[in-house]
Chains A and B, each alone.
Chain A
Amino acid sequence: MGNVIGIGAAPKRKEDQRFLTGRGNYVSDIKRPGMTAGVFVRSPHGHAVLRGIDKSAALASPGVIAVLTGDDVADDGLGSLPCGWGISDAKGVPMKEPPFPMLAQDKVRFVGDMVAFVVAETPEQANAGAELLKIDYEVLPSVVGVLEAVRPDAPQLFDDVPNNICCDWELGDKAAVESAFKKAAHVAKLSLVNNRLIGNPMEPRAAIAEYEPGTDRFTLWTTSQFPHVVRFLMGALVLNIPQHKLRVVAPDVGGGFGVKQFHYGEEAVITWAAKRVRRPVKWVASRSEGYVSDRHGRDHVTEAELALDETGKFLAFRVNTLANMGGYLSTFGPNIPTNLYGPLLGGVYTTPAIYCNVKVVFTNTVPVDAYRGAGRPEATFVLERIVDVAASEMGIDRVEIRRRNMIPKEAYPYQTPVLVQYDSGDPVGCLDGALVAADVKNFGVRKAASASKGKFRGLGYSTYVEACGLAPSRFAGRLGARGGLYESATVRVHPTGQVTVMIGTHNHGQGHETTFAQIVSDKLGVAFENVDIVFGDTDRVQFGMGTYGSRSLVVGGAALSKATDKVIVKGKKIAAHLLEASEADIQFEAGKFSVAGTDRIKTFEEIAGAAYVPHNYPLEVLEPGLEEQAYYDPVNFTYPGGCHIAEVEVDPETGTVTLVNYTAVDDVGTVINPMIVEGQLHGGIVQGVGQALFENAVYDEGSGQLLSGSLMDYCMPRADHLPMMKVATHSTLCTHTPMGVKGCGEVGTIGSPAAVINAVVDALSHLGVTHVDMPATPNRIWRLLQNASLPVAAE
């Protein structure tokens, strides 16, 4: 028998046994009898009229079984890919929501837009067949940047979406902000670009679909973060497959970061094709294909203004953003730069008036949707950058201006002027902890040492808060969500006392199989090794909304906690019967039911046994079996936050920025497994550093070609780009989640870009540099230094 490993312990991850020994089961590992291979033919043009497709040569190619196009989709009367959020403008006018066909009809709108699907006996034959398709395009000018797309003379993606504006969204009290600006002693202004990112999970997307004529049932294996949502969106809204006739399985998935939390057209096409060809169909994306089809992230152009009084107190904040949606609305697309952005513009500060306008814009690029952090890194970046700009312009220390404006610990719960109410937090405590951990007081010594080598050293702060644990369904519904955002868990106690948990979240690197097992082990007193977590299969798991928005522990863990509590309640009833005591006198602790004040006990295993062999059992009032289920819908978001401090060294000769130190002190609420939390923070920080220094998706204006479409041209952060990080937690407990947890999946990505860029600007501030857009590449820094207002020389 193993041991209880409970909340707060740091066991090695259960799932790593199979991952590290090559025994994972990924979609591309799966083989089905009679399986065929599918290949998508994608538009090589950013924008073109699709005049016609001649399939004949492809169909005659050896091994080709079927060629499907948008006309076939239309003939079969299939639906358009649905958007899960419907936002509205200030007057309540709904966003423009043009159809997103699973295979292009009439027009293609980005390089990578799917035009046809070729099914053949082998991948090679499918590729050969695909090359023989004759597709007649009338190429149109593309528009890829948001500034260009809203110009009156810009190419129009849709006839009924004037100026390519999907929605002109706003939040906040515009008049209150205007009046505060009139009274301001100082107004700081900042224009910035939040660079477009490509998620690049290690495992490319893949799918297999199978149709069983005997039962009229479909199975789709897909690289998804939310199989139940795919079942609903694809079955009910696209392919018209009843829910009970569709099984969606997301087995081991090699990283998601948001890229796999959408319903993709590929899934629908493959499932539809499997019935048409009456054989299983498999597709595995190449890395290159991922670049032009995985949903991209970020891509904002923003003008921000911060009004301050003479002491540096923030009076009002005004933000105008153009957000790129790409060629169509993806599953969460319009929600990201609006509802997950505007409400975070208060940050950890007491700014009394905030106004945000976001124009959500179509362009000839891959659809943009959630990517780790999703809206909140963009909000944090704008706010934390402009705070530095204001401090510099007013001659106030950057830490001091933050302190003057921070919400004090005692002021929680704190209602912001932009919808959200923070339940708990301690920004000052995180800041103070980080200042010590980063050894800020000796920064001057390190800066002088860098200067003696001809390098510029800078320090950057980001004191941030985010909203995660998506999401309270009622609140989300008011903001335009078209679905619920609760989570569910079933705790199945076996007759021998072992436990299987069925949960609706999806583990694709986060360590859920370990964290959730620790919760059950802790609460039920069963051995850690006697708890298994099942996820990712709509036939095995009752229901679920999946994993994104740092919700798995916060919402899924809460459902699990509730279901476990129900097991204990039922166990007490059984124990009361067996111990001939009143239910009120039964206590449960460390895996034992006892009668209070006595030494009479029943073990958890004995109670489980009695539940399944109910010979001596209160059958009149209690059902046999020991299995409980709970659904949990959160009452609020959770608000993790913290303070990140980055330290960089700039080589003025080449413009190279080196991240030399990184410190994060984060408030993530209760920590279940500190090793896993540390890993989540490390990974999140690295992704934020990637955005700040390396990653950039670049399109060619006019042709719409993706110029950064490979790992040779799109720079992912690597181990040798990074210092050892100092990561610590300074937690206050969430007041409304069952275990006090807040979530930690995205905090690193949200806090870090501003810290890094603030450090770069600090390193160059003596030259008159006031802002650097991301990524701060060597070429960009060198250019800034060429144009610097003051001469470049080491201090």
Chain B
Amino acid sequence: MKPFAYHQPDQIPAAAKLLASIDDSKLVAGGMTLIPTLKQRLASPVALVDLSRLGSLKGITDDGATITIGAMTPHAVVASSKLVQTKIPGLAALASMIGDPAVRSRGTIGGSVANNDPAADYPAGVLGLGATVITSTREIAADKFFLGLFETALQPGEIITAIRFPVPLKAGYAKFKAPASRYALVGVFVAKFADGVRVAVTGAGPGVFRVPPMEAALSGNFDASAIAAIKIDNDGLTSDIHAEADYRAHLVTVMAKRAVDAALS
């Protein structure tokens, strides 16, 4: 690890100001990706701005038709939240499948969404539910937020403060864990709303994506059998030492079916 300055502001504007005023500064939320990167000397920011003292970024609120989860809420809190378990059980299930207990108690939803790792779980939940990413300056629809490999619509200095999830009629997540890392080799989030179904896939490609043919089929018949024959194209999917692209494509269908089953169970 190389030396860096460390700031722990207690107000969002102060955090934003630090971020804007120090070149090459970085936000740290749970640090699950950033700290290992620093330890390996692969990143060397001049300063870290730690969000852990921003109490307003923690917690889960019930807004009726939506629930809002503060950016600094750890995965374990989401997984064990009675509110999330009642209103969007698929999202609580997703949070319970992230990493291991240590990761779930440190890692945060805001950190995960901002990092947009192509194999992270939360992007599938955020996109699958059509959530809204709330930042220090604006609100961004999930469909406009995830731009590709580790890339998001966030501007320099912009801080995610919360994610607002519409409450679906039904939702489920199915994840095929990469055996070593326990990231999603393929993870599929399926959510059924009054006006249609959304299907979001993580792990399979360079970033989270939706599957319109599955959404159309499930909107007509919300049952796993409706999508059993839908194959997605291998093109653009990831091939690595753990899984080849055609296997990932196959798993998208299998996991989508299982996500529907989970949503219905």
Q: Assuming A711-B180, A716-B180, is B2 touching A128 (CB within 8 A)?
A: yes
Q: Assuming A708-B241, A783-B247, is B180 touching A124 (CB within 8 A)?
A: no
Residues of B contacting A715 in the complex (Cβ-Cβ under 8 angstroms): 179-180
- Evaluate contact between B1 and A124: CB separation under 8 angstroms: yes
> Contact mask B239-255 → A, CB, 8 Å, 1/0?
00111100100110010
Query: Does A782 touch B at the CB level, under 8 Å?
Result: yes
**Which of A654, A712, A779, A782 is the one whose CB lies under 8 Å from B180?**
A712
Query: Does A637 touch B at the CB level, under 8 Å?
Result: no
In the assembly, what is the distance between CA of A771 and CA of B183, in Å?
A: 29
> Contact mask A642-658 → B, CB, 8 Å, 1/0?
00000000000111000
In the assembly, what is the distance between CA of A716 and CA of B180, in Å?
A: 7
- Evaluate contact between B2 and A654: CB separation under 8 angstroms: no
- Evaluate contact between B250 and A782: CB separation under 8 angstroms: yes
Query: Does B40 touch A at the CB level, under 8 Å?
Result: yes
In the assembly, what is the distance between CA of A702 and CA of B63, in Å?
A: 57
Query: Does B64 touch A at the CB level, under 8 Å?
Result: no
- Evaluate contact between B244 and A779: CB separation under 8 angstroms: yes
Query: Does B156 touch A at the CB level, under 8 Å?
Result: no
Residues of B contacting A26 in the complex (Cβ-Cβ under 8 angstroms): none
Q: Assuming A128-B2, A715-B180, is B242 touching A779 (CB within 8 A)?
A: yes
Query: Does A714 touch B at the CB level, under 8 Å?
Result: yes
Query: Does A127 touch B at the CB level, under 8 Å?
Result: yes
In the assembly, what is the distance between CA of A555 and CA of B251, in Å?
A: 52
Residues of A contacting B183 in the complex (Cβ-Cβ under 8 angstroms): 712
Residues of A contacting B2 in the complex (Cβ-Cβ under 8 angstroms): 124, 128
- Kindly report which residue of chain B lies nearest to residue A693, judged by CB atoms: B179
**Which of B1, B176, B241, B244 is the one whose CB lies under 8 Å from A654?**
B176
Query: Does A218 touch B at the CB level, under 8 Å?
Result: no
Residues of A contacting B3 in the complex (Cβ-Cβ under 8 angstroms): 124
Residues of B contacting A708 in the complex (Cβ-Cβ under 8 angstroms): 241
In the assembly, what is the distance between CA of A128 and CA of B250, in Å?
A: 46
Query: Does A450 touch B at the CB level, under 8 Å?
Result: no
Output the least CB separation between B253 and chain A (Å): 9
In the assembly, what is the distance between CA of A777 and CA of B242, in Å?
A: 8
In the assembly, what is the distance between CA of A779 and CA of B239, in Å?
A: 11
Q: Which of A710-731 contact B (CB under 8 A)?
A: 711-716
Residues of B contacting A314 in the complex (Cβ-Cβ under 8 angstroms): none
> Contact mask A739-764 → B, CB, 8 Å, 1/0?
00000000000000000000000000
In the assembly, what is the distance between CA of A711 and CA of B40, in Å?
A: 14
- Evaluate contact between A713 and B176: CB separation under 8 angstroms: no
Residues of A contacting B243 in the complex (Cβ-Cβ under 8 angstroms): 778-779
Q: Which of A126-151 contact B (CB under 8 A)?
A: 127-128, 131
Output the least CB separation between A123 and chain B (Å): 9
Query: Does A288 touch B at the CB level, under 8 Å?
Result: yes
Residues of B contacting A124 in the complex (Cβ-Cβ under 8 angstroms): 1-3
- Evaluate contact between B254 and A777: CB separation under 8 angstroms: no
Query: Does A792 touch B at the CB level, under 8 Å?
Result: no
- Evaluate contact between B41 and A653: CB separation under 8 angstroms: no
- Evaluate contact between B179 and A777: CB separation under 8 angstroms: yes
Output the least CB separation between B123 and chain A (Å): 18
Residues of B contacting A696 in the complex (Cβ-Cβ under 8 angstroms): 241
- Kindly report which residue of chain A lies nearest to residue B247, judged by CB atoms: A779
Q: Which of B148-196 contact A (CB under 8 A)?
A: 176, 179-181, 183
Residues of A contacting B180 in the complex (Cβ-Cβ under 8 angstroms): 694, 711-716
Query: Does A707 touch B at the CB level, under 8 Å?
Result: yes
In the assembly, what is the distance between CA of A783 and CA of B180, in Å?
A: 20
In the assembly, what is the distance between CA of A284 and CA of B131, in Å?
A: 46
> Contact mask A623-656 → B, CB, 8 Å, 1/0?
0000000000000000000000000000001110
Size category, A interface: 20 to 34
- Kindly report which residue of chain A lies nearest to residue B40, judged by CB atoms: A288
Residues of B contacting A694 in the complex (Cβ-Cβ under 8 angstroms): 179-180
Query: Does A698 touch B at the CB level, under 8 Å?
Result: yes
- Evaluate contact between A713 and B254: CB separation under 8 angstroms: no
In the assembly, what is the distance between CA of A779 and CA of B179, in Å?
A: 11
In the assembly, what is the distance between CA of A137 and CA of B180, in Å?
A: 33
Residues of B contacting A782 in the complex (Cβ-Cβ under 8 angstroms): 247, 250
Output the least CB separation between B48 and chain A (Å): 16
In the assembly, what is the distance between CA of A735 and CA of B119, in Å?
A: 57
Residues of B contacting A707 in the complex (Cβ-Cβ under 8 angstroms): 241
Output the least CB separation between A694 and chain B (Å): 6
In the assembly, what is the distance between CA of A714 and CA of B40, in Å?
A: 18
Residues of A contacting B40 in the complex (Cβ-Cβ under 8 angstroms): 288
- Evaluate contact between B242 and A653: CB separation under 8 angstroms: no
- Evaluate contact between B242 and A713: CB separation under 8 angstroms: yes
- Evaluate contact between A698 and B247: CB separation under 8 angstroms: no
In the assembly, what is the distance between CA of A715 and CA of B241, in Å?
A: 11
In the assembly, what is the distance between CA of A778 and CA of B251, in Å?
A: 11
- Evaluate contact between A713 and B241: CB separation under 8 angstroms: yes
Output the least CB separation between A610 and chain B (Å): 59
Residues of B contacting A288 in the complex (Cβ-Cβ under 8 angstroms): 40
In the assembly, what is the distance between CA of A712 and CA of B183, in Å?
A: 9
- Kindly report which residue of chain B lies nearest to residue A780, judged by CB atoms: B247
Output the least CB separation between A288 and chain B (Å): 7
- Evaluate contact between B251 and A654: CB separation under 8 angstroms: yes
Output the least CB separation between B176 and chain A (Å): 6
In the assembly, what is the distance between CA of A782 and CA of B185, in Å?
A: 14
In the assembly, what is the distance between CA of A694 and CA of B1, in Å?
A: 31
> Contact mask A66-96 → B, CB, 8 Å, 1/0?
0000000000000000000000000000000
Q: Assuming A654-B254, A779-B243, is B181 touching A127 (CB within 8 A)?
A: no
Q: Assuming A288-B40, A777-B179, is B241 touching A698 (CB within 8 A)?
A: yes
In the assembly, what is the distance between CA of A682 and CA of B138, in Å?
A: 56
> Contact mask A554-566 → B, CB, 8 Å, 1/0?
0000000000000
Residues of B contacting A779 in the complex (Cβ-Cβ under 8 angstroms): 242-244, 247
Output the least CB separation between B4 and chain A (Å): 12
Output the least CB separation between A36 and chain B (Å): 19
In the assembly, what is the distance between CA of A783 and CA of B246, in Å?
A: 10
In the assembly, what is the distance between CA of A712 and CA of B242, in Å?
A: 11
- Evaluate contact between B247 and A713: CB separation under 8 angstroms: no
Q: Assuming A654-B176, A713-B180, A777-B179, is B244 touching A127 (CB within 8 A)?
A: no
- Kindly report which residue of chain B lies nearest to residue A128, judged by CB atoms: B2
In the assembly, what is the distance between CA of A698 and CA of B180, in Å?
A: 14
**Which of B1, B179, B244, B254 is the one whose CB lies under 8 Å from A653?**
B254
Output the least CB separation between B177 and chain A (Å): 10
Residues of A contacting B241 in the complex (Cβ-Cβ under 8 angstroms): 696, 698, 707-708, 713
In the assembly, what is the distance between CA of A712 and CA of B241, in Å?
A: 12
Output the least CB separation between A195 and chain B (Å): 12
Residues of B contacting A654 in the complex (Cβ-Cβ under 8 angstroms): 176, 251, 254
Output the least CB separation between A721 and chain B (Å): 8
- Kindly report which residue of chain B lies nearest to residue A715, judged by CB atoms: B180
Q: Assuming A124-B1, A653-B254, A654-B254, is B41 touching A713 (CB within 8 A)?
A: no
Residues of A contacting B242 in the complex (Cβ-Cβ under 8 angstroms): 713, 777, 779
- Kindly report which residue of chain B lies nearest to residue A716, judged by CB atoms: B180
In the assembly, what is the distance between CA of A11 and CA of B247, in Å?
A: 50
In the assembly, what is the distance between CA of A779 and CA of B176, in Å?
A: 12
Q: Assuming A654-B251, A654-B254, A782-B250, is B181 touching A713 (CB within 8 A)?
A: yes
Residues of B contacting A778 in the complex (Cβ-Cβ under 8 angstroms): 176, 179, 243, 247
11 interchain pairs, CB-CB under 8 A:
A127-B41, A288-B40, A713-B180, A713-B241, A715-B179, A715-B180, A777-B179, A778-B243, A779-B242, A782-B247, A783-B244
Smallest CB-CB A-B distances: 9 pairs: A715-B180, A712-B181, A715-B179, A779-B247, A779-B243, A698-B241, A707-B241, A653-B254, A782-B247
Chain A residues with a Cβ under 8 A of chain B: 124, 127-128, 131, 288, 653-655, 694, 696, 698, 707-708, 711-716, 777-779, 782-783
Chain B residues with a Cβ under 8 A of chain A: 1-3, 40-41, 176, 179-181, 183, 241-244, 247, 250-251, 254
| 20 additional contacts (CB under 8 A) given A778-B176, A778-B179 | A124-B1, A127-B41, A131-B41, A288-B40, A654-B176, A655-B247, A694-B180, A696-B241, A707-B241, A708-B241, A711-B180, A712-B180, A712-B183, A713-B181, A713-B241, A778-B243, A778-B247, A779-B242, A779-B243, A779-B244
